Amino acid sequence: MNNLRGRAHVFGDNVNTDYIISGKYKFKTLDMNELAKHVMEDLHPGFYKEIEDGDFIVAGENFGCGSSREQAPLAIQAAGVGAVIARSFARIFYRNCINIGLPVVECDTSHIREGDELLVDLRKGRVHNVTADRSIGAVPLPAVMVRILGDGGLVEHFKKHGGFGIGDEG
Amino acid sequence: MGTMSEEILSAHVGKDVVAGDIVIVPVDFIMGQDGTTSLTIQAFRNMGGKSVHDPDKFAIVIDHNSPSPLESVSNIHDQIREFSEEHHAILYDIGEGVCHQIVPEKGHVLPGGLVIGADSHTCTYGALNSFATGVGSTDLAAALISGKTWMKAPGTIKLIYSGSLPAGVYSKDVALHMVGKLTANGATYKALEIQGDVIDSLSIEARMTISNMAVETGAKVGIMRCDSMVQQYLKGRTTEQYRGVDATEDARYDKIVEDDLSALSPQVSKPHEVDNVVPIAEVAGTEVDEVFIGTCTNGRLEDFSIAARLLAGKQVSRRVRLIVAPASREIMLRCIEEGILDKMVRAGAVIVTPGCGPCVGTCGGIPADGEVVLSTANRNFKGRMGNSNAFIYLASPATAAYSAINGVISDPREVFE
């Protein structure tokens, strides 16, 4: 899953976790396929129906701010989104994505337009905008996150190592 | 040698930690709530978790959807109760209150400690000199199994609030001012150290209001000094030894902001972003349909005491529904004992269960389409209170109570003139 291909669905700055999945749904059920139907509903009604498997959510600054609800990245993942690409991320959301194995890419998104076709190379940390024929470098993930994402998320990481399998044991 | 955050992390891992370092760090207390713990239980089981590392240091609070308004929620609560019994966790069930009031109130937070909670407003405990931060459900599960979490030591922005607050201006106004100035991502990945004469003059309850909103600037923690007020607060709540932590004189900061708040006016955050903060004069006169006083930001005794003084002998406007949720059972009892509840109910307030319901839109006060809500909460995102066609303004309990009487957003300083 180092190379991902899909279309861009573009959102603005400060997309909070209430917009990603509203509290009125997230407390009701643990069925992520059900929650997926309401992803981004308050910002873009009907968004769920427009997602094709592997598409990307593209956003500006501070994506995922607000609540710590892990239902937010889980619902995005269940909706078929391949990765979230943003100028910057809120920290809890960023961690949650890595922990559940949803790729996040931090890069300049200002030139990506709605519907652009993108190629994402997670290993090299590059986003190639096929439509605009433009390549964008991404901020590298911290080493600890590369390890966790490489194992498929924190659950798999813990299963594999029986705990934190990261050096620097405190 | 460092900031409060660096000092606390260093003490926990037993070596010098500086901003940017990634460390595996032991945690002193772990908290989950009913909206996030169900996923924690799944992750705990999927990780092969057999037992909780230290059940005495783990509490679950059923507060977000309480009492359950739906079958599906009841079943989630049931799972949580079973898990807490199986693993001997501390359970605070419905009606005990909001997690961020319960955890400090029951003495689970100590100065110099490190707390993680599966709720973004865990940063509230910074008011007790704790490195406390919100994490997701899977991070929480990993900490339950291992007793540890991984942290990237944050750089720090120091905020020094000097001067003294005018009459009618409160810690909530400071918190909103802070978020408005820093903006929603002004402190992302960073720690806030918040101090100065204004902070020194505030009670622990009032300080919690400010630390609570640190996350609205993107910050990881909103930490304050350990002073005699903190020690006083902890008396009778804990018998454990603790040692407050301060930054060293040579600590390096990303930024130091000095701000004299002597002329601060009541602040209001407008829909639909928390950092959309304006002085009250810009929105005074806006008609309101619902006023909500409560939450982990402003549901404490001092908040209701202020509100009750304004409401005493008055009637809430006929157009307004005033909903009140004490942040804990203890606070509710104190409100009863001190006649605060009596004054509020006689003025027309509706009292709901100590918990989060109205603030997160699960139960207890969902607004109608097009309605305007004035709330003492920390978030006003579209849909936050359960209806994406409503408009939420945030303000202090004084502004909320005074506006409830007038039916329009009103400046509480008028009472002090």
Beta bridge partners of B29: B115
The answer for B348, left when phi > 0, alpha when psi is -120 to 50, beta otherwise, is: left
- Cβ–Cβ under 8 Å, residues B353 and B67: yes
The CA distance from B118 to the nearest CA of chain A, in Å, is 6
Mutate to test the interface with B, among A18, A20, A34, A151 (most CBs of B within 10 A): A18
Kindly report, residue by residue over A79-92, the tens digit of the pLDDT.
999 999 999 999 99
State residue B252's pLDDT score: 97
Here the ipTM equals 0.91
Give residue limits of the domains in chain A. 3-139
Q: Using CB atoms within 10 A of its CB, is residue A54 exposed (0-12), middle (13-18) or buried (19+)?
A: middle
* Token reading at B363: 């139960």
- Cβ–Cβ under 8 Å, residues A73 and A93: yes
With H, G, I as helix, E, B as strand and everything else as coil, classify residue A99: helix
- Tell me whether residues B218 and A90 touch, CB distance under 8 A: yes
pLDDT at B183 over 70: yes
Radius of gyration of chain B (CA): 20
Cα–Cα distance between B34 and B79 in angstroms, integer? 10
Asked whether the whole model's pTM tops 0.80, one would answer yes
Query: For residue B87, how many other CB atoms are within 10 A of its CB?
Result: 17
The alpha carbon dihedral of B372, B207, B101, B136 has a sign of positive
Tokens 């059920």 found at: A29
Kindly report, residue by residue over B329-342, the tens digit of the pLDDT.
999 999 999 999 99
Give residue limits of the domains in chain B. 8-259, 267-409
Q: Using CB atoms within 10 A of its CB, is residue B287 exposed (0-12), middle (13-18) or buried (19+)?
A: middle
Kindly report, residue by residue over A123-154, the tens digit of the pLDDT.
888 999 999 999 999 998 888 888 898 899 99
% of chain A surpassing 90 pLDDT: 80
Radius of gyration of chain A (CA): 15
State residue A169's pLDDT score: 41
Chain B partners within 8 Å of A100 (Cβ): 138
- Tell me whether residues B138 and A154 touch, CB distance under 8 A: yes
Cα–Cα distance between B212 and B321 in angstroms, integer? 26
* Token reading at A77: 């993942």
pLDDT at A30 over 90: no
The answer for B340, left when phi > 0, alpha when psi is -120 to 50, beta otherwise, is: alpha
CATH of A3-139, one of 3.40.50.300, 3.20.19.10, 3.30.470.20, 3.30.300.180: 3.20.19.10
The CA angle B214-B216-B220, to the nearest 5 degrees, is 50
The answer for B252, left when phi > 0, alpha when psi is -120 to 50, beta otherwise, is: beta
Query: For residue A130, how many other CB atoms are within 10 A of its CB?
Result: 12
State residue A1's pLDDT score: 55
- Cβ–Cβ under 8 Å, residues B115 and B346: no
- Tell me whether residues A62 and B188 touch, CB distance under 8 A: yes
Chain B partners within 8 Å of A61 (Cβ): 185
Q: What is the rounded end-to-end Cα distance, in angstroms, of chain A?
A: 32
pLDDT at A28 over 80: no
* Token reading at B327: 């942040």
The CA distance from A60 to the nearest CA of chain B, in Å, is 11
How confident is the prediction for chain A on average, in pLDDT? 92
Report residue B334 CA to chain centroid gap.
20
H-helix segments, B195-271: 197-200, 204-212, 228-234
State residue B120's pLDDT score: 96
- Predicted confidence band of residue A29 (pLDDT cuts 50, 70, 90): confident
pLDDT at A170 over 70: no
Average the pLDDT over B306-310 and give the result. 98
Q: Top-level CATH class of B8-259?
A: alpha beta
Kindly report, residue by residue over A8-17, the tens digit of the pLDDT.
999 999 999 9
Chain A partners within 8 Å of B46 (Cβ): 155, 159
The alpha carbon dihedral of B59, B60, B64, B68 has a sign of negative
Strand-pair category, B255-260 with B58-61: unpaired
Do you know the residue count of chain A?
170
Do the first three CATH levels of B8-259 and B267-409 match, i.e. the same topology? yes
- Predicted confidence band of residue B1 (pLDDT cuts 50, 70, 90): confident
CATH of B267-409, one of 1.10.357.10, 3.90.850.10, 3.30.499.10, 3.30.1330.20: 3.30.499.10
Tokens 């402003």 found at: B298
- Predicted confidence band of residue A167 (pLDDT cuts 50, 70, 90): low
| Nearest CA among B99, B104, B96, B95 for reference residue B37 | B99
- Tell me whether residues B70 and A28 touch, CB distance under 8 A: yes
Mutate to test the interface with B, among A92, A144, A147, A161 (most CBs of B within 10 A): A92
Annotate B28-53 with DSSP letters as a single string. Answer: SEEEEETTTHHHHHHHHHHTT--S-S
- Tell me whether residues A67 and B119 touch, CB distance under 8 A: yes
Q: Which of A24, A68, A169 has its CB closest to that of B136?
A: A68
* Minimal-distance CA residue of chain B relative to A156: B47
Cα–Cα distance between A72 and A75 in angstroms, integer? 5
Query: For residue A56, how many other CB atoms are within 10 A of its CB?
Result: 27
Strand-pair category, A56-59 with A83-86: parallel
The type of residue at B156 is T
State residue A140's pLDDT score: 84
Residues contacting residue B333 through CB under 8 Å, at least 6 positions apart: none
Output B194-197 pairs: Cβ under 8 A, ≥24 positions apart: B194/B126, B194/B159, B194/B161, B194/B222, B194/B223, B194/B224, B195/B158, B195/B159, B195/B160, B195/B161, B195/B224, B195/B225, B196/B159, B196/B160, B196/B161, B196/B162, B196/B258, B196/B259, B197/B161, B197/B162, B197/B163, B197/B164
Cα–Cα distance between B50 and B151 in angstroms, integer? 24
- Tell me whether residues B136 and A91 touch, CB distance under 8 A: no
Kindly report, residue by residue over B32-63, the tens digit of the pLDDT.
999 999 999 999 999 999 999 999 999 999 99
Strand-pair category, B156-162 with B255-260: parallel
Average the pLDDT over B150-155 and give the result. 95
Kindly report, residue by residue over A45-75, the tens digit of the pLDDT.
999 999 999 999 999 999 999 999 999 999 9
